[in-house]
Structure 1
């Protein structure tokens, strides 16, 4: 900060005259710096004063967007998600009973189309597709179609299902592989079995889809790839059901190379 000096003040003489001049120059430079800062601050204040209306509009728009987002989640998205889960209960119950093996086809169809005044899985996807329940309905619908041999719709709905779950993710991809096998589209089947393998490593889904991928690869004449998958089952999942006769599969792949 510049120092106030009385009128007529003279700097005290030193041994070197140049030192006094340097001190004066330093004071002058400091004053220039503060003047520059003051000018910059004044310009910033002038800009804010001249653009207040625009600034307040931007702040207002940002606030409206934030409040709108919070309001949407609180009053629209959350109630809709809860409503979808309530609709889902009946269809999921039909699906679970079908998996247990009692009247399978009719129960899968009830799960898909609905019953007792409740929506079916496909309707839930259509009406609540953006909710977690709507997403999960894609999985159940895809698996129901797979089990009722409607393989095209199985691929469609399973393909629309999204998850990071370590088991459901691979099963959805593997289900698409199964559907493509039935549609006799073996390259696509291999692709989705490999996606199922890559989606998660666990003792349940990984050896299952390794074996399916290897068998399809063998059918496509890709013996090297088949052998690689068989060998991984033998080395990494030796206690799995898929490993029980793995040496037979390995021998077949080696002989066809």
Structure 2
């Protein structure tokens, strides 16, 4: 059992003297080891100081380069892209709200009055938020022009966390697949639209589309589940107006 020894205690017996010598020897070895380790570390640092400076310099350059890129290249380019997209966006909005839709959607895609269209924005500014948003506009324009392959392509390239645009983009892909006679793919994307966000606008709309498509595909259980969800959760929606009729159809096929 270890015993506490007062400071300054002098060994009296032979055993105590031996123990003191061993303790002093061990302590010396520890300090020698530490000194050797420190010396080796210092020697390594001296020999490799150029490498250390290069690594530190590269790390600093990467950080400063990233900050500089964002400040002087990425941010100005993103702003420029948004400015360039203004006219194409106006064409798209006019197409949604007015007449001569096909020609206006075409102008939204290809540009007019010497201004970029959505396809130009995608090609020139694809890495910017405007370039991403241009994929959405291009995809929806193609969908309205009945060019379903290109609609799928551009809507698939669009990414967002927006509670409305996200589901609408996924639902637009579903609409395109319906027209391409790919109902299983269409149902998959309607379900992705449902999962993307829960709101009173897009959710009942895509629940209704998914339910009807599931019914056509012979999956009456899934159809019934979706119809009932409309009735229970979105009773004030347009889709809920005659929902009992659709529930009855699904139940009849069970």
Q: Structure 2 length as normaliser, TM-score? A: 0.91
Query: Which residue in the other structure is 1:3 paired with?
Result: none
Query: Which residue in the other structure is 1:201 paired with?
Result: 198
Contact 2:11-2:20 at 8 Å conserved across structures: no
| 3-state SS of paired residue (1:117) | coil
1:68 to 57, 65, 69: 65
Query: Which residue in the other structure is 2:28 paired with?
Result: 31
Q: Distance in 2 between matches of 1:33 and 1:102?
A: 89
Q: For residues 230-254 of structure 1, give each alpha carbon's deviation from its aligned partner in whole angstroms, at most 9, with x where no partner exists.
A: 1111222222221121111111111
Runs of 4+ in structure 1 over 6 Å off: none
Query: Which residue in the other structure is 2:51 paired with?
Result: 54
Q: For residues 64-100 of structure 1, give each alpha carbon's deviation from its aligned partner in whole angstroms, at most 9, with x where no partner exists.
A: 2223222222222122111111110111111111111
Evaluate the alpha carbon distance shift between residue 17 and residue 203 of structure 1 in structure 2; reply closer, same or farther with a 3 A threshold: farther
Q: For residues 149-170 of structure 1, give each alpha carbon's deviation from its aligned partner in whole angstroms, at most 9, with x where no partner exists.
A: 2211111111110111111100
Offset at residue 56 of structure 1 (A): 1.6
The reply to whether residue 135 of structure 1 matches residue 97 of structure 2 is no
Offset at residue 172 of structure 1 (A): 0.2
Offset at residue 17 of structure 1 (A): 5.6
Q: Distance in 2 between matches of 1:195 and 1:106?
A: 31
Contact 2:164-2:197 at 8 Å conserved across structures: yes
1:161 to 146, 158, 170: 158
Q: Distance in 2 between matches of 1:224 and 1:33?
A: 76
Alignment of 1:53-202 (within 5 A): 53-202=50-199
Gaps of 5+ in 2: 1-7
Q: Distance in 1 between matches of 2:47 and 2:79?
A: 49
Q: 114-123 or 233-242: which moved more? A: 233-242
Q: Structure 1 length as normaliser, TM-score? A: 0.90
Contact 1:211-1:229 at 8 Å conserved across structures: yes
Contact 1:11-1:20 at 8 Å conserved across structures: no
Contact 2:135-2:158 at 8 Å conserved across structures: yes
Q: Distance in 2 between matches of 1:75 and 1:114?
A: 28
Aligned residues: 247
Q: Distance in 2 between matches of 1:11 and 1:160?
A: 81
Q: Distance in 2 between matches of 1:26 and 1:245?
A: 93
RMSD over aligned Cα atoms:
1.8
Q: Distance in 2 between matches of 1:130 and 1:70?
A: 17
Q: 85-94 or 18-27: which moved more? A: 18-27
| 3-state SS of paired residue (1:27) | helix
Q: 234-243 or 45-54: which moved more? A: 234-243
Contact 1:91-1:121 at 8 Å conserved across structures: yes
Offset at residue 18 of structure 1 (A): 4.0
| 3-state SS of paired residue (1:202) | coil
Query: Which residue in the other structure is 1:228 paired with?
Result: 225
Q: Distance in 1 between matches of 2:84 and 2:122?
A: 11
